[in-house]
Structure 1
């Protein structure tokens, strides 16, 4: 059933891919043998940023650092709820130093930053729905973020956390398989989750928009929504049609180069929730 969706102005953090390359493989999408066109990557990323600004949102920029090619995936550096920043602690050593860059940004800008003791990859594995069940955090585990980090996040952020087990390594972060469309609605691909997690999602979100395998593999769920406008990978045409039928406005963008690192729209965009 479609209904009128209300967009809400958001504040985001992004990081230019000017040092982006694929020289190692820490997820199934990365292949160092496949060449990356960095000029094209920067151009596509720029179009994504322009799209978000054009929709009325504020985009802050994190300074990219040489030797940290995955910094473009800014969503992984922290998880922010109500002005409190739960910092990331990356699983793979290739990304470890990114956490310090994010911490420096947040502390410089006056945010309350809490360093993590447990392994977690920020908004890659955490999603927030402020109006669902009184304010709910969905949290993924199985490949990157450790389940104990879910308890730590709950203590730091003071919001109930629902743990969801990811079972397909191609969906190594929650944000590749599940997305928040508005303050109480999600879209997800059931096949990425354990049977128990699927049952939990059906109970909590009976009206969710269900994505199929084709769009999930096209990184369609790795999207950014302001409650009405949904910025998503242009390859996910089926999901775009489902979202439109549900009352949202799909805004397709092309991110072919950044997909080579195992990410798309959402991976590139952290939300700063004051």
Structure 2
């Protein structure tokens, strides 16, 4: 079922069971920075990028190596080499995602991102694991996977923000590819490019939401109601610090950048703790210059 209003969402949400297993990934993969730089093409619709900032490739590589090491505390992590011709490749979750037995490959808006979808090494690696490559069907639409689609795997629900990076046709294609029971489509606020910058669902038990990232205020209100008592509501400064660009890779820890963690108030940290989550923070200041943060770096393997 695909819905487009808060009442229909809340009614459907209440009827869906919570799965005992599969709320978090079995493993994850990253793509390392290579000659780290900012993608000029992507900056056209990513307000979190500033092409005027100098970048330090060595610092980005060091941050990324530490990220892989730290995430390995919660699950197995593989890292693929980056491609200097694809500077946004450090954010693979927009291009690659999985369901058991299948590697889903998205449809990217920008040519600099479409190059990533052609990587034969990643496809071959998943073939060795027994995952069939499953590109989204051809057509004149855009669907940037778990950048545009935030998934509650415990309930099999997708939250799909429509923007230049995902249209309604793309939302339907992802709904079908992921085999979701419910997808809620809504417009992101003007200037927002991906849902995972304004919303995180942590292991199906908690939500982090930035209300000013949505075109309709009823959307974040309904999400907060659905995850009542376990929702962290961000202000604009916290959103801009990437506090919603977080992920749970185990049932007991929410990962985010050091900048994001520092932006949270004590009461917000307490809300996450009451839902069973400690916070894992990793310094990603250099990587964040490319317009994404920790969650964007992580492609989950289910």
Correspondence list, 1:161-180, <5 A: 161-169=183-191, 171-180=192-201
1:203 CA displacement: 4.7
Q: Which residue matches 2:147?
A: 124
Kindly indicate whether the alpha-carbon contact (under 8 Å) linking 2:32 and 2:64 is maintained by their aligned counterparts in 1. Answer: yes
Equivalent residue for 1:111?
A: 131
2:113 equivalent in structure 1: 95
Alignment partner for residue 291 of structure 2, among 258, 262, 269? 262
Classify 1:214/1:223 alpha carbon distance in 2 versus 1 (closer, same or farther; 3 Å).
same
Match of 1:229 in 2: 253
Counterpart-to-counterpart distance in 1, 2:48 and 2:150: 22
Cα distance between partner residues in 2 of 1:142 and 1:154: 16
1:139 touches 1:163 (CA, 8 Å); kept in 2? yes
Using a 3 Å threshold, how does the CA distance of structure 1 residues 272 and 176 change in structure 2: closer, same or farther? same
- Contact persistence 1:244–1:250 (CA under 8 A): no
Query: Matches of 1:86 and 1:204 in 2, distance apart?
Result: 28
> Hey, what does 1:201 align to over in structure 2?
223
Uncovered stretches (5+) of structure 1, i.e. residues with no partner: 1-5
How many Å separate the matches in 2 of 1:126 and 1:108? 27
**TM-score (normalised: structure 2):** 0.80
Q: Distance in 2 between matches of 1:186 and 1:152?
A: 25
Match of 2:161 among 140, 150, 164: 140
Quote the Cα distance in structure 2 between the aligned partners of 1:57 and 1:166: 32
Which residue matches 1:20? 36
Q: Is the 8 A contact 1:215 1:235 kept in 2?
A: no
Give TM-score, length-normalised by structure 1: 0.87
Question: Tell me, what secondary structure is at the counterpart of 1:256?
Answer: coil
2:264 to 232, 235, 239: 239
* 3-state SS in 1 of match to 2:112: helix
State the shift of 1:240 in Å. 6.5
User: 1:271 corresponds to which residue?
Assistant: 300
- Structure 1 Cα separation of the partners of residues 187 and 283 of structure 2: 29
CA contact under 8 A between 1:136 and 1:161: conserved in structure 2? yes
Q: CA deviation at 1:108?
A: 4.7
Q: Any conservation in 2 of the 1:70–1:95 contact (CA below 8 Å)?
A: yes
What is the aligned length?
264
1:38 equivalent in structure 2: 57
- The Cα RMSD (Å) is 2.3
Cα deviation per residue 1:83-127 (whole Å; 9 max; x = unaligned)?
333311110112111111254543453213221234111211122
Shift of 1:199: 4.5
5+ residue gaps, structure 2, are: 1-20
Cα distance in 2, alignment partners of residues 23 and 173 from structure 1:
16
